[in-house]
Amino acid sequence: MASLLISGGRPLCGEIKIQGSKNAVLPLMAAALLLPGTTRLSGCPRISDVAAMAELLEQVGARVSWEEDTLCIDAATVHPIPLKQEDTRKTRASILLLGALLGRTQCCEMAYPGGCAIGSRPIDLHLKALRGMGYTVWEREELFCEGKGIAGADIYFTFPSVGATQNALLTAATIQGETRLHGVAREPEVQVLCRFLQKAGVRIDGIGTKNLKIKGSEVLMPVNEVVPSDRIVAGTYLVAVLAAGGNALLHCDCVRELAALVKPLRAAGAKIFELPEGIRVGAGERLTALDYLVTEPYPGFPTDMQSQVMALAAVCEGTTILEERVFEARLATAAQLKRMGAKIYLEENRAIIQGVSRLRGAAVEAGDLRGAAALVIGGLSAEGETLLAGYSYILRGYEDIVRDFTALGAELRLTESR
Ligand code: UD1
């Protein structure tokens, strides 16, 4: 297994382009199954989650190919063969094939999804939505779903789950007549899926709000779509510059979506400027503590940035408290940062972080994608060398973190040794 060797303590300066969004493109790949013909997704990131999803699409009959940075999905024919756990466990987004296959073929048989171990990750809200739309769902060792959706359903979400909202949208897209979803997730990636489905011929009202009205269509058309910038990758690099020092321009189109991250960082003294081409971030003086941050559904502070912000807070002046309300196991990164000298105390779902002036390099091990990114940030800001095991987690969501940080002047490389 590959590890990452980071020589910390160098400021990050320069400019880089932020890759396409993982969480936006995965639902679009599932949605392509609804569209008989070739869908083109340009600016698609080359990450392992996309590769895993592409394999699943091919298993059900789609043909997937790359034309430079465009992913082409030809879904002229789709057949719902059972999807096995060895494949569905490679990405959490495999659960979206449930809604897409039901919509296209009225039938789906698949193993439960995988993804990073960041909490219990149930799928009850997904199944409740599908049942509410008239489908029959059997939960055994695997999932079996079939039926024809009925128009006029009202689905109420008790929590605004991103994946469950997307699954309901995918299924409702083919139901003739109106489906109403109440209490949905408002994440930008849900909005991207809505607009994609609109282009394909689905009528959707309420995009960006908690309630969506969907009027499906039997005939859907393939779509050419540009994948937006990955707001979490942009946020990760922004936080890295603040932790390691330096000044960088991040070319991206997701500045507004980062508001819940940028606001507390500015309050702590960070110099962050919104520009037409992206975000400029300058480290300047050592930041003060970030006060009290709570992870929440969008537009709140994103759980996907909690670990990286923990790495930054570890070197801010004063005490920061991070409360994790979405994925309970995400505070596990604290134990690894402590190996680097961070002073972090865990109390239930809260991390109390007393900033130290400098972390020191250490051997650490990642247990999930964003936790791995946080440890890279810790390593970049630390004095000395950090050896990070579990590099494969990074590949799930970051196209080439070595390329990007090297372009900003960091010293890091892959190594097989551990
Ligand atoms: C998506 C993102 C992930 C992000 C998360 C929250 C993708 C591929 N992944 O994950 O990066 O961290 O949103 O912003 O887009 N829940 C239930 N029952 C369900 C579904 C979810 O209880 O049926 C709970 C989960 O345990 C969790 C919370 O709802 O506590 C949020 O989960 P959800 O929004 O569904 O996250 P994902 O779609 O899995």
| Domains of the chain, residue spans | 2-18+229-416, 22-226
Q: Which of 159, 181, 295 to mutate to test the pocket of ligand 1 (most atoms within 8 A of CB)?
A: 159
Atom of ligand 1 nearest to the CA of 187: 14
Determine the Cα–Cα distance for residues 142 and 325; give it in Å rounded to an integer.
Answer: 29
How far does the centroid of ligand 1 lie from the alpha carbon of residue 269, in Å? Answer: 31
pLDDT tens by residue, 325-375 = 999 889 999 999 999 999 999 999 999 999 999 999 999 999 999 999 999
Whether 377 contacts 236, CB under 8 Å: yes
- Summarize the confidence of residues 261-288 as an average pLDDT: 95
Q: Return the pLDDT at 211.
A: 98
Q: Return the pLDDT at 116.
A: 54
pLDDT tens by residue, 378-387 = 999 999 999 9
Q: Return the pLDDT at 117.
A: 58
Q: Phi then psi for 257, rounded to 5 degrees?
A: -70, -10
**CA distances (Å), origin 18, targets 50, 171, 260, 288, 399:** 17, 31, 19, 27, 10
Q: Return the pLDDT at 140.
A: 84
Is the CB of residue 189 below 6 angstroms from any atom belonging to ligand 1? yes
Topology match between the domains 2-18+229-416 and 22-226: yes
How far does the centroid of ligand 1 lie from the alpha carbon of residue 303, in Å? Answer: 10
Q: Is 116 noted as a catalytic residue in this protein?
A: yes
How far does the centroid of ligand 1 lie from the alpha carbon of residue 183, in Å? Answer: 14
Give residues with Cβ within 8 angstroms of 260, minimum separation 6.
298, 299, 300, 301, 302
How far does the centroid of ligand 1 lie from the alpha carbon of residue 121, in Å? Answer: 7
Which CATH code fits 2-18+229-416? Answer: 3.65.10.10
Is the CB of residue 166 below 6 angstroms from any atom belonging to ligand 1? no
Is the CB of residue 328 below 6 angstroms from any atom belonging to ligand 1? no
Neighbouring-strand partners of residue 364: 388
Tell whether the model's pLDDT for residue 141 goes beyond 90: no
- Summarize the confidence of residues 300-317 as an average pLDDT: 98
Which CATH code fits 22-226? Answer: 3.65.10.10
pLDDT tens by residue, 167-191 = 999 999 999 999 999 999 999 999 9
Whether 231 contacts 260, CB under 8 Å: no
Is the CB of residue 24 below 6 angstroms from any atom belonging to ligand 1? no
pTM confidence score: 0.97
Tokens of 87: 């494949």
